[in-house]
């Protein structure tokens, strides 16, 4: 089974309306300059691997407190044995949330059809055009895969949200509105403000995030598009 490189016992923010634990898996196929989890991508060996039984033991002892488990990374769907990990968690009767960049629509389809996941957060990096996406992911991206994942979720077979991390210099207000218009999913589209604390590109530490009030105003506007 894939190595687990991080475990957060309790989170109130990773799953809307749920209290969850968070499992961090290594590696990613994107190189977003503003990524703050980049040590998991480039140097996962610097983190001790956490045995799954240790995590399951914690979950069992906190069954009355924890609703489910969020699987994040890195990019969890890179791991072919992700379904095995999910089955171990579900055997303990916990819900499962998946965070993904949408680059593996086949894995997403398989998990949904097998009813192995209960909620999906898909990080959409930019408006759905090649130039914008390459700038945000740091490398050429197969947009057809991202679009397939978006359409899979919009079928409604599993609860979902789309998230966009908004970074000044990478995203303008019109970019946010453009993506909102492309997705048209109402309140299922959520904006996350850039955190300059530890980005992959160190020059971004000097970048000031968007004004939160301006961001919330734009979010309300695009959430009205259905």
> Model confidence over 146-205: pLDDT tens digits?
999 999 999 999 999 999 999 999 999 999 999 999 999 999 999 999 999 999 999 999
Count of C-beta atoms within a 10 Å radius of residue 63: 11
- Looking at the chain, the whole-number percentage of residues with pLDDT higher than 90 is 98
For β-strands 159-166 and 189-193, DSSP reports them as parallel
Mean pLDDT, range 5-34, rounded to an integer:
97
**Which pLDDT band holds residue 47 (cuts at 50, 70, 90)?**
very high
Residue 78: per-residue pLDDT: 97
Task: Measure Cα distances from 129 to 67, 73, 116, 147 in Å.
Answer: 37, 25, 31, 11
Question: How far, in Å, CA of 209 to CA of 22, rounded?
Answer: 25
Cβ contact 123:101 at 8 Å: yes
* SS3 call for 2: coil
**Residue carrying structure tokens 């894939």:** 2
Residue 43: per-residue pLDDT: 93
Task: Assess whether pLDDT exceeds 80 at residue 226.
Answer: no
Residue 2: per-residue pLDDT: 87
Residue 1: per-residue pLDDT: 77
Report angle CA 189, 191, 193 to the nearest 5 degrees: 170
Q: Is the pTM of this model over 0.75?
A: yes
Mean pLDDT, range 27-53, rounded to an integer:
95
What backbone phi and psi angles, to 5 degrees, belong to 101?
-95, 0
Cβ contact 58:12 at 8 Å: no
The dihedral built from the CA positions of residue 33, 35, 39 and 43, taken in this order, carries a sign that is negative
Mean pLDDT, range 10-27, rounded to an integer:
97
Question: How far, in Å, CA of 10 to CA of 156, rounded?
Answer: 28
- Looking at the chain, the whole-number percentage of residues with pLDDT higher than 70 is 100
């Amino acid at each position: 089974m894939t190595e687990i490189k991080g475990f957060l016992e309790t989170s109130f923010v990773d799953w809307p309306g749920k209290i969850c634990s968070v499992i961090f898996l290594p590696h990613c196929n994107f190189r977003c300059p503003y990524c703050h989890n980049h040590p998991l991508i480039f140097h996962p060996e610097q983190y001790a691997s956490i045995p799954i039984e240790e995590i399951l033991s914690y979950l069992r002892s906190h069954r009355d407190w924890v609703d489910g488990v969020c699987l994040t990374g890195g990019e969890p769907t890179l791991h072919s044995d992700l379904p095995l990990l999910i089955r171990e968690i579900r055997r303990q009767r916990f819900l499962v949330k998946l965070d993904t960049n949408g680059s593996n629509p086949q894995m997403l389809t398989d998990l949904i059809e097998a009813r192995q996941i209960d909620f999906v957060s898909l990080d959409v990096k930019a408006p759905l055009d090649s130039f914008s996406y390459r700038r945000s992911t740091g490398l050429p991206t197969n947009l057809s895969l991202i679009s397939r994942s978006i359409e899979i979720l919009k079928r409604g077979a599993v609860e979902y949200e789309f998230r966009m991390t908004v970074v000044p210099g990478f995203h303008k207000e019109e970019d946010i509105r453009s993506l909102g218009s492309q997705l048209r999913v109402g309140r299922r589209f959520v904006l996350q403000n850039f955190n300059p604390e530890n980005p992959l590109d160190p020059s971004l530490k000097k970048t000031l995030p968007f004004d939160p009030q301006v961001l919330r105003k734009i979010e309300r506007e695009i959430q009205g598009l259905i």
